[in-house]
Amino acid sequence: MKALLHTVLRMLRTFRRPSRHVNLQRMQRRGESLSTLIIREATARDIPALGALHAKTWSDTYPRVIHPPTAQLREHQWREQFKVTDGRWCCYVVENSRGQLVGFAKGIPFKAEAMPDFNGELSKIYLLRGYQRLGLGSRLLEKVVQHFLQRGIRNMLLFADPGNASCRFYETLGAEKLFDRKGAFHGAYGWRDLQELLNRLR
C-alpha cells in the first residue's frame, strides 16, 4: 500500500515538467548559480553518492515502476563498474557548491553485430529535477562525446524509453531515430558524426 502511494506521488510529480526559470529561481534562493556548479570526472570516492543519486533520479524518471532499483543496488553496480580500469568507459558528474552530486552521465564502448555503425554508447544521463533544463545535460553530453572522440570513437547511440519526455533532448540535438528490421522504433537514437554533435554543443 505504501509502495503504491509512493508510486502515485512520483507519477503526479512528473506531470510538472521542470522549467528553467523556476529551477534558476530556486537555485538562487539556495545561494547557488550555474557558475557554482562544477562538472568533473567521477572517481571511486563518488560511488556511495553516485549510487544514491542514480537511484533517486531513476525512480523520478520512471515513476510507474513500483519497486525501482535501490541505492544499495546502484552502489554495487557502480562499484563493479569502477573495477574496470581500461580507460574506455567514462563517467562525469555535476557537483554543487555543497559538494553534493546532482547529475551524472556515463559512456561505454558499444559493439553489436546488428548495429555495426555504432562504437560508443551513452549509457546513462540523469540530473535531479531541480537541475534540469539549465543546459547541464548538454554539458555532460559534451564531456562524453569528447571522451569518445579522444579515443577515436566517432559515433554513438543510446537506448531510451520511447515514452520518456527526455527523448526531446536527444532529438533537439540532432539524434537520429534508429528503427529495427521491421521498421519499428523502440527508443534507440544515434549520432553518426560525434564531431558534428560536439560543434553543435559548443
Ligand X SMILES: CC(C)(COP(=O)(O)OP(=O)(O)OC[C@H]1O[C@@H](n2cnc3c(N)ncnc32)[C@H](O)[C@@H]1OP(=O)(O)O)[C@@H](O)C(=O)NCCC(=O)NCCS
Enumerate binding residues for ligand X (CB under 6 A): 17, 20, 57, 61, 125-127, 132-138, 160, 164-166, 168-169, 172
| 136-150 vs 194-201: helix crossing angle, rounded to 10 | 140
Please identify, using beta-carbon distances, which residue of 26 and 44 lies nearer to ligand X: 26
Is-contact 160 167, C-beta < 8 A?
Answer: yes
Nearest approach, Cβ of residue 179 and ligand X (Å) = 18
Please identify, using beta-carbon distances, which residue of 127 and 194 lies nearer to ligand X: 127
Please identify, using beta-carbon distances, which residue of 17 and 64 lies nearer to ligand X: 17
Nearest approach, Cβ of residue 166 and ligand X (Å) = 3
Q: Distance (Å, rounded) from C-alpha 198 to C-alpha 138?
A: 10
Q: C-alpha grid cell for residue 41?
A: 570526472
Q: Could you give the C-alpha distances from 180 to 113, 138, 188, in angstroms and in order?
A: 13, 27, 9
Please identify, using beta-carbon distances, which residue of 86 and 172 lies nearer to ligand X: 172
Q: C-alpha grid cell for residue 17?
A: 515538467
| Residue whose C-beta lies closest to ligand X | 137
Nearest approach, Cβ of residue 14 and ligand X (Å) = 9
Nearest approach, Cβ of residue 8 and ligand X (Å) = 19
Helices (H) and strands (E) in the chain, counts: 7, 7
